[in-house]
Structure 1
């Protein structure tokens, strides 16, 4: 890479201050708006059943290209794009009736536990969780390449030290999402009593098996960046650290907190405790200045201090995600409750989580009623306001996706192990095949997206091409990663993150 161009690339993503959190909300609202339109078309017209070429193209336009447009061409008018998505949905709603009869779900079968208490045969599939995870993956994959083009606003790129931006939020959301799905294994272990039988060493070794692929990817990225003379932003994570290392080290560290969870049976409290203690350290010691402004020394800690210390904030985010997952994954259906009542319970939980995070975020990040701490959000530090912002946003996104599913597909219910075919049919009808594919093949798709991002940056002068050319490249890139996700799904290959 030409040295002058490399410096220009590094300057292009450096010393940025982010943008408005409200604008970020408007841009990211495009994902729920797209799912809203998809759900209306499916529930009223069965448009995506069967899934032919027209359905595939429409699915791609709604759930992939709409997000690309929101972060590029419509970045200055996100509400217009939301209106363009919601308006046809409203027209279909007022001019048609649901095609599919809403079924009255049977109470789930249960299996007797060792103590004679009825317990669920298995954890249910929640389509809204699939939708949430896939939408997060899509916007992440698009942003990691789009950020290198001028069509992607600089206010959406990662802020240098302080501020809120779309990509700052994306990094935290990736970790929060991982925490949500990690709750499934915790709940299964609790159901079977397996967590009590395994020692800390056994759990640690098992968690490392999940971490190894991510750590290997981190090493590959490190080698590639250093040996291909790729433009890098050192103050993002440090000289050697990258986001794959953060993701890879989370599972083994979580095993320590799984032991603490037996003493403090609330992941919300554990998450808040980590965030508070880390913030106290930042404010009462020289840690903040050490991370942000100290000269970079020759030792590994100094060279990678951003990645090492921000890991504490990401650990708090992961714990917050697991707390949400623990509460919403069990469906709560019993002989005396219906799927609709259980969904309302999940909505109430998510709503309470959102309000709780906002109630903590406001006095931390503003002069709330004259008594707030007014600590700015910092993704580089992963400080407490950042943790609370990420948790509030992701719980709100989950709330919206769950609300859409509850309104348009209220018959989706928990079924027993003997009725898995019925469960598969229900979830297939209410879930976009593209979103399902992105969720199932998350690890492979994310890897391919990173490889393609590197390839494009090494072969195309992304800073010097016009917006039209950039959009052609980005749309083609989006189509390729979508095709790969669908291909993996069709081959029944699951490589989820």
Structure 2
């Protein structure tokens, strides 16, 4: 029994060292790796708009969809990590050939409805009704689905050697793919939080809004505590400097709905400022005040150097607690983007591009060696450079997805016949990404459970490339099947 305990402790220490003291990679490399998602979107859209490949969704279409929009992301973060632009070229090349064919060949479509059906069933857990007059948009669905896909893949892939160490979360200073992932998750949540703002509906009383926010907060707190109990119960390897001893990402997410609810009335009382500008201003204000506290009030020194047990729960969870203002700023930056791209406007891409340049400029101002502040990015404290980097990346990604949709319209078939099938405009042509978007938080929870089970079952550190890719492939396919299964049945789980 003692030998087994010692072996477990030794393996746990090895895993902790495996994700410790990392310095990340360059922003340009991260941009190249994440460009695979829009590249896959280009080919997916081209296959539909030129060949009508996804007009009828069956097993073959699912496998192609999964391979393009999940499999390529897995390859980009593993075996193609050193040559992501080659992978992008392999995806975009065939799409350009299809684009050169013009309208494409006419294709006879059957009268059967496109799967998955939109009709809700009695098995539905929660039905989320979009605001009247504010339809969903395919490029937003694809962006959120791709973000969720790469997040779910990375949280398990990071435990294998096939996943480059430079993509894992950095210790304190620097940029990495996984550092960008957690911020993008929060940005994406803020984006959809803009729906009631854009819809312009009369707000319910504050008490009702707070009650709804408390329900969301309570559900996420429960998930956070469940994760905490499970992690501590099985003595799971974890990196304390990520969030602290007890804190985890679910606790950070749990605090966001309340602040979003409190900020919502500002848009109804301040009519002279566009909502996107107002929320961007809030994001910048929070990031600036937080940065001032970090740099000038000793907060940074406390987070990085204070003894872990000097102030009880506060010092034990100092990273999670004091990084929250930065994540809140990212959330409101996402809301600003949502106010810009959710309304039905012909110049959506231009509006998003302007915001992308704004956040790039803000990031250059605080991070660049040529700027006046020269601060380094730190996901650990979620400082201003980290906030502006995440906002710049995500608005640029949204702009890219919007442009793809302009070139390859999502709601048209390749046939010029009046009987051509019309696709629901709220869905992208990737049903897998649509499904990941529909139940994002539930799939993320399932991914966390799957990650734990895989690590308790397999020796991730000792797995070679083939075995690692096999495990990751099965894991990814399981998540995709679960997501599409819920989507086919019209089930949406709101946590």
8 Å CA contact 2:49, 2:410 repeated in 1: no
Corresponding residue for 2:366? 364
Aligned-pair CA distance for 1:100: 7.4
SS in 1 for 2:455: helix
Corresponding residue for 2:314? 301
Work out the CA distance in 1 between the residues paired with 2:466 and 2:383.
38
- 1:145 matched to 2:147? The reply is no
Corresponding residue for 1:387? 387
Structure richer in helix, relative to its length? 1
Question: Bigger CA drift: 87-96 or 376-385?
Answer: 87-96
Match for 1:291 among 291, 300, 303? 303
8 Å CA contact 1:218, 1:245 repeated in 2: yes
- 1:8 matched to 2:14? The reply is yes
Aligned-pair CA distance for 1:99: 4.9
Work out the CA distance in 2 between the residues paired with 1:146 and 1:459.
15
Work out the CA distance in 2 between the residues paired with 1:137 and 1:485.
11
- 1:330 matched to 2:343? The reply is yes
CA deviation profile, 1:387-431 (whole Å, cap 9, x unmatched): 00000000011111111111111767xxxxxxxxx9983327752
Aligned-pair CA distance for 1:89: 1.2
Question: Bigger CA drift: 24-33 or 297-306?
Answer: 297-306
1:51-66 residue pairs with structure 2 within 5 A?
51-66=57-72
Match for 1:174 among 174, 185, 188? 185
Question: Bigger CA drift: 286-295 or 202-211?
Answer: 202-211
Work out the CA distance in 1 between the residues paired with 2:241 and 2:462.
25
Corresponding residue for 1:275? 287
Higher relative contact order (CA 8 A, sep 6+): 2
Work out the CA distance in 1 between the residues paired with 2:55 and 2:484.
16
SS in 2 for 1:123: coil
Alignment length (residue pairs): 452
Work out the CA distance in 1 between the residues paired with 2:376 and 2:421.
45
Work out the CA distance in 1 between the residues paired with 2:244 and 2:250.
13
SS in 2 for 1:426: coil
8 Å CA contact 2:411, 2:425 repeated in 1: no
Corresponding residue for 2:472? 474
TM-score when normalising by structure 1: 0.87
Query: Stretches of 4+ moved more than 4 A in 1?
Result: none
TM-score when normalising by structure 2: 0.88
Question: Bigger CA drift: 203-212 or 382-391?
Answer: 203-212
Work out the CA distance in 2 between the residues paired with 1:487 and 1:316.
35
8 Å CA contact 1:43, 1:99 repeated in 2: no
8 Å CA contact 2:366, 2:372 repeated in 1: yes
Corresponding residue for 1:114? none
Work out the CA distance in 2 between the residues paired with 1:478 and 1:165.
22
What is the root-mean-square deviation of aligned Cα atoms in Å?
A: 2.0
The change in CA–CA distance for 1:256 and 1:466 in structure 2 (over 3 A counts) is: same
The change in CA–CA distance for 1:150 and 1:410 in structure 2 (over 3 A counts) is: closer
Work out the CA distance in 2 between the residues paired with 1:233 and 1:13.
7
SS in 1 for 2:23: coil
Unpaired segments of 5 or more residues in structure 2? 108-130, 413-419
8 Å CA contact 1:440, 1:494 repeated in 2: yes
The change in CA–CA distance for 1:177 and 1:100 in structure 2 (over 3 A counts) is: farther
CA deviation profile, 1:97-147 (whole Å, cap 9, x unmatched): 34579xxxxxxxxxxxxxxxxxx9521221111000000000000000000
8 Å CA contact 1:43, 1:100 repeated in 2: no
Corresponding residue for 2:440? 442
Corresponding residue for 1:459? 457
SS in 2 for 1:495: coil
Work out the CA distance in 1 between the residues paired with 2:425 and 2:356.
26
The change in CA–CA distance for 1:424 and 1:11 in structure 2 (over 3 A counts) is: farther
Work out the CA distance in 2 between the residues paired with 1:476 and 1:217.
25
SS in 1 for 2:423: helix
Work out the CA distance in 2 between the residues paired with 1:430 and 1:489.
13
Match for 1:26 among 15, 29, 32? 32
1:19-418 residue pairs with structure 2 within 5 A?
19-95=25-101, 97-99=103-105, 122-188=133-199, 190-191=200-201, 193=202, 195=203, 197-199=204-206, 201-261=207-267, 262-263=269-270, 266-296=278-308, 297-332=310-345, 342=346, 345-368=347-370, 371-409=371-409
8 Å CA contact 2:36, 2:88 repeated in 1: yes
Work out the CA distance in 2 between the residues paired with 1:305 and 1:258.
28
8 Å CA contact 1:16, 1:158 repeated in 2: yes
Corresponding residue for 2:128? none
The change in CA–CA distance for 1:41 and 1:428 in structure 2 (over 3 A counts) is: farther
